[in-house]
Amino acid sequence: MTTVARNADAESDPRVKAVFDDIRATRKSDFINNFWHYLTFDPKLLEDTWYGVKAVMAEPSALDPLTKELIYIAVSITNSCSYCVHSHTAAARAKGMTEAMHADLLRVVATAGRTNQLLNGLQVPVDPVFNAE
Amino acid sequence: MTTVARNADAESDPRVKAVFDDIRATRKSDFINNFWHYLTFDPKLLEDTWYGVKAVMAEPSALDPLTKELIYIAVSITNSCSYCVHSHTAAARAKGMTEAMHADLLRVVATAGRTNQLLNGLQVPVDPVFNAE
Amino acid sequence: MTTVARNADAESDPRVKAVFDDIRATRKSDFINNFWHYLTFDPKLLEDTWYGVKAVMAEPSALDPLTKELIYIAVSITNSCSYCVHSHTAAARAKGMTEAMHADLLRVVATAGRTNQLLNGLQVPVDPVFNAE
Amino acid sequence: MTTVARNADAESDPRVKAVFDDIRATRKSDFINNFWHYLTFDPKLLEDTWYGVKAVMAEPSALDPLTKELIYIAVSITNSCSYCVHSHTAAARAKGMTEAMHADLLRVVATAGRTNQLLNGLQVPVDPVFNAE
Amino acid sequence: MTTVARNADAESDPRVKAVFDDIRATRKSDFINNFWHYLTFDPKLLEDTWYGVKAVMAEPSALDPLTKELIYIAVSITNSCSYCVHSHTAAARAKGMTEAMHADLLRVVATAGRTNQLLNGLQVPVDPVFNAE
Amino acid sequence: MTTVARNADAESDPRVKAVFDDIRATRKSDFINNFWHYLTFDPKLLEDTWYGVKAVMAEPSALDPLTKELIYIAVSITNSCSYCVHSHTAAARAKGMTEAMHADLLRVVATAGRTNQLLNGLQVPVDPVFNAE
């Protein structure tokens, strides 16, 4: 169940088609996952989202593509976004995440979840040495 | 302001001293940050927390130490744990995080925060191809 | 799957019937959605919840009914409450939310999710000018 | 810094005075903590909040008062509400929470934070046996 | 305390200066709040963030500017982003939010927080009628 | 749908078998719920998670077993972890949670969700009297 209807004919809109073509070219694959299909109900939202995600995730930057996927998964787990966890776990695998790396990611994410709770419970003052200024 | 009192004399307890000595040896530094000081109100909680964090973060594993810190920061930001963001940003810097990497981390974390909201708002069905089974 | 059983006969309890009748009268509809059905396992919890929600959402106040629904959806998305996102998106539509307004809501919610992450990552000090005192 | 101004003269409003008197009588103390002072900017919001909290927390119910405070702290930690963690930790102490119980609370809260992350990362299907229907 | 240092001389970088000039022109004010100052450590992150926020919040769209600020505050409260709550509450006031509207916003946000918890606790199945497809 | 495959033959690994045997012995039941089955993809993660959870939840401590389950549910609801809410609600029932206690738990969790939002919205300063130092 979703909150907007999927439009099977969305690509008849040239703005949607341009985005979908760019997704296919960027990923070198014909497959377009559901997220982008459902965003077609508002072509501007589709454009802004895709070009924003692409600029961060698909263009070379200080962090390598796999590390960026791992960070993306970590946030998605913490925000309890089921779709995001699924799609970015698949993306991380496609970029080389092994089973051992997946387990390690979950270990770190779980450890952070554990100590985040302790610190929020203790309300410990931040050590002055951590101040960047 | 905190929810437990800091005990300046905590190291007179041999269990606390053993943990503090291990923190110093592991980090090759005399500095013990506030988190561990405040956990001394319950030596068992201190022990479990330190040895748990150490096993995940300080021992060799599938992911390198800096990547693990970046994931830790991502979770801490999403959980809005101020102390955790400060301490792990400092730890990431100590392990080689450059300013460009820090900006890139924030860029990915912000992009995930953005699309997590969109997916939670759209309630898009997960594509069957993402299923690991 | 749920954590409490739905009681098909709940309206035989006069306290439940009184609440259900008030829901129908308030909404001018015979339909009672699942949330209220499942709350019937504890009539007091049902009463407190319905009359609390009604007082805030169904009575005239400083904000108009549609604006209140948009705010409700924004919180529900951020808390990752799937049922709440579905029911309040439907409610907002019934109160006049157009597709363009829905897209705009998601755009703002996504932008807030994005900058919330940046600010929680940067730990920027609050400008004194924002202080209401 | 706050988002509404504190009104030192709030009790000159009889609605505010009635709530404050009820807080004092309920708690058998003259002290009114900041939360209630800041809510006085809208007497109706103050009334609804106080009488709602009182009905749940100060009246006899299936769970004992201390258990209810521990649950309240657990939610407040997870929502990263600093003020709430402070005020309810103090309330739990006043109702008999020992240091050992406090440590145990934090241990459970941290363990839940840890496994919540694992489950949100694994997206494990719910066992049919857990279904209450 | 922050995780990046504020650069008092940031406007000597023409990219930073261009963004700051656009902030001033858009807001018709010389004041630049801390968020933008701290983002100057990475001019690209500053540019992407400002132009992204501006496109959503400062350009005419389906929702009016004040409604968008109220939604922004709702998300920021739920994500426990202190800075964001402060800055957008101030922005909402500047756009006409009265004290009664502020109280109403908080009332809706609190009611959503309350029922979100109930639904996440009950795990109620979504009514088919809410499905947009 | 899950992010790792379930291995029907996992118990042929002696490390997995040892954990599963300990789960059965601890719970005095042959049933192993899905969480543990899916963790078998990494025996070390399975071991650390089970022995960590067991030490906190199954061994005598300052809080009684049922209170610990209620706290666990409260965190899981707030983190929107569907599986965790289901499994720990079932566990609490097995440890004696009545329907009245369940309703009371939800009432407290909902009230905390409500006031957490108000406090995060008001940004009220913590009363000095709450400081544990």
Contact B52 F55 (CB under 8 A): no
Contact A49 B100 (CB under 8 A): no
Tracing tokens 């014909």 back to the chain, one arrives at A30
Residue F75 has pLDDT above 90, yes or no: yes
Residue of A nearest to E4 (CA): A132
Contact B2 F55 (CB under 8 A): no
- What number of other Cβ atoms are within 10 A of residue B9's Cβ? 8
Nearest to D4 among C52, C126, C132 (CB): C132
The ipTM estimated for the assembled molecules is 0.97
C110 closest CA partner among D121, F131, E57, D12: E57
What would the 3-class secondary structure string for B34-50 be? HHHHHHCCCHHHHHHHH
The model's pLDDT over B7-23, given as tens digits with 9 standing for 90+, comes to 889 999 999 999 999 99
Which chain B residues are Cβ-neighbours of D106 within 8 angstroms?
A: 45
Residue C133 has pLDDT above 90, yes or no: no
Question: Could you give the 3-state DSSP secondary structure of residue C32?
Answer: coil
Residue of A nearest to D117 (CA): A110
B/e letters for D2-39, b = 16+ CB within 10 Å, e = fewer, are bbbeeeeebbeeeebeebbeebeeeeeeeebbbbbbbb
Residue of C nearest to D8 (CA): C133
Which chain D residues are Cβ-neighbours of B53 within 8 angstroms?
A: none
Interface residues of D toward E, Cβ cutoff 8 Å, are 1, 3-4, 41-42, 44-45, 48-49, 75, 79-81
B/e letters for C3-36, b = 16+ CB within 10 Å, e = fewer, are bbeeeeebbeeeebeebbeebeeeeeeeebbbbb
Chains that touch B (3 or more CB pairs under 8 A): A, C, D, E, F
Closest-CA distance, B70 to chain C, in angstroms, reads: 11
The model's pLDDT over E76-91, given as tens digits with 9 standing for 90+, comes to 999 999 999 999 999 9
Nearest to F3 among A86, A100, A107 (CB): A86
Contact E42 B86 (CB under 8 A): no
Ramachandran quadrant class, A36 (left: phi over 0; alpha: psi -120 to 50; beta: rest): alpha
Q: Minimum mean pLDDT among B38-47, D3-12, D113-122: which range?
A: D3-12
Nearest to A2 among E2, E3, E133 (CB): E133
Contact B45 D117 (CB under 8 A): no
Q: For chain F, give percent helix, strand, coil, nearest 5.
A: 70, 0, 30
Angstrom CA distances, D93 to A11, D9, D100, stand at 62, 31, 11
Contact B126 F2 (CB under 8 A): no
Q: Which residues contact F5 (CB under 8 A, 6 or more apart)?
A: B132, B133, F41
Mutate to test the interface with B, among E1, E2, E3, E116 (most CBs of B within 10 A): E3
pLDDT of residue E95: 97
- What number of other Cβ atoms are within 10 A of residue A25's Cβ? 9
F18 membership: H or E segment, kind and range: helix F14-27
Mean local confidence (pLDDT), E94-121: 98
Which chain B residues are Cβ-neighbours of E49 within 8 angstroms?
A: 110
E101 closest CA partner among D43, F122, D42: D42
CA distance B113 to B105: 12
Chains that touch C (3 or more CB pairs under 8 A): A, B, D, E, F
Residue of D nearest to A80 (CA): D120
pLDDT of residue E4: 96
Angstrom CA distances, F92 to B78, C34, F66, F87, stand at 29, 24, 6, 9
Interface residues of F toward B, Cβ cutoff 8 Å, are 1-6, 48, 52, 55, 126, 128, 130-133
Nearest to E99 among D42, D75, D79 (CB): D42
Residue F133 has pLDDT above 90, yes or no: no
- In DSSP notation, C72-98 reads HHHHHHHTT-HHHHHHHHHHHHHTT--
Closest-CA distance, E85 to chain C, in angstroms, reads: 9
- In DSSP notation, E88-125 reads HHHHHHHTT--HHHHHHHHHHHHHHHHHHHHHHHHTPP
Contact B42 D86 (CB under 8 A): no
The model's pLDDT over D38-63, given as tens digits with 9 standing for 90+, comes to 999 999 999 999 999 999 999 999 99
Nearest to B5 among F2, F128, F133 (CB): F133
Chains that touch A (3 or more CB pairs under 8 A): B, C, D, E, F
Mutate to test the interface with F, among E120, E122, E123, E126 (most CBs of F within 10 A): E120
The whole-number mean pLDDT for each consecutive block of 10 residues of chain A, a chain of 133 residues, reads 92 98 97 97 97 97 98 98 98 98 98 98 97 91
Contact B104 A62 (CB under 8 A): yes
Mean local confidence (pLDDT), F91-95: 97
CA distance C115 to E57: 12
Mean local confidence (pLDDT), F84-105: 98
CB-based burial label for D74 (10 Å; 0-12, 13-18, 19+) = buried
Residue D8 has pLDDT above 90, yes or no: no
Which chain D residues are Cβ-neighbours of E107 within 8 angstroms?
A: 45, 48
Q: Report the amino acid identity of residue C120.
A: N
Residue of B nearest to D103 (CA): B42
Which chain E residues are Cβ-neighbours of C62 within 8 angstroms?
A: 98, 100-101, 103-104
Closest-CA distance, B122 to chain E, in angstroms, reads: 10
- Token pair belonging to C74: 């924004």
Residues C67, E92 contacting (CB under 8 angstroms): no
Closest-CA distance, C14 to chain E, in angstroms, reads: 23
Residues B106, E45 contacting (CB under 8 angstroms): yes
The model's pLDDT over C9-55, given as tens digits with 9 standing for 90+, comes to 999 999 999 999 999 999 999 999 999 999 999 999 999 999 999 99
Which chain C residues are Cβ-neighbours of F112 within 8 angstroms?
A: none
Contact B102 E44 (CB under 8 A): no
Angstrom CA distances, B62 to A106, B56, F13, stand at 12, 11, 21
Residue of C nearest to D5 (CA): C133
pLDDT of residue A23: 98
User: In chain B, where does DSSP find H-type helix?
Assistant: 14-27, 34-39, 43-57, 65-78, 82-94, 99-122
Angstrom CA distances, F118 to A81, C20, E120, stand at 25, 29, 20
**C70-73: Cβ within 8 A, 24+ apart:** C70/C97, C70/C101, C70/C105, C70/E63, C70/E67, C70/E70, C70/E71, C71/E70, C71/E71, C71/E74, C71/E105, C71/E108, C71/E109, C71/E112, C72/E108, C72/E111, C72/E112, C73/B121, C73/C105, C73/C109
Contact A2 E128 (CB under 8 A): no
Which chain A residues are Cβ-neighbours of E3 within 8 angstroms?
A: 130, 132
Residue of D nearest to B75 (CA): D117
pLDDT above 90 covers a percentage of chain F that reads: 97
E38 closest CA partner among A76, F7, C120, A3: C120
Residue E8 has pLDDT above 90, yes or no: no
Closest-CA distance, B104 to chain F, in angstroms, reads: 26
Angstrom CA distances, A16 to A26, A28, B53, stand at 15, 18, 47
Nearest to C103 among A42, A75, A81 (CB): A42
Nearest to C53 among E34, E115, E121 (CB): E115
Could you give the count of Cα atoms lying within 13 Å of A105 in the half-sphere of its Cβ?
30
The model's pLDDT over B23-54, given as tens digits with 9 standing for 90+, comes to 999 999 999 999 999 999 999 999 999 999 99
CB-based burial label for B111 (10 Å; 0-12, 13-18, 19+) = buried
Contact D5 C126 (CB under 8 A): no
Q: Binning pLDDT at 50, 70 and 90, where does residue C8 land? A: confident
Mutate to test the interface with B, among A32, A117, A130, A131 (most CBs of B within 10 A): A130
Mean local confidence (pLDDT), D82-94: 98
Contact A89 F49 (CB under 8 A): no
Which chain B residues are Cβ-neighbours of F132 within 8 angstroms?
A: 1-5
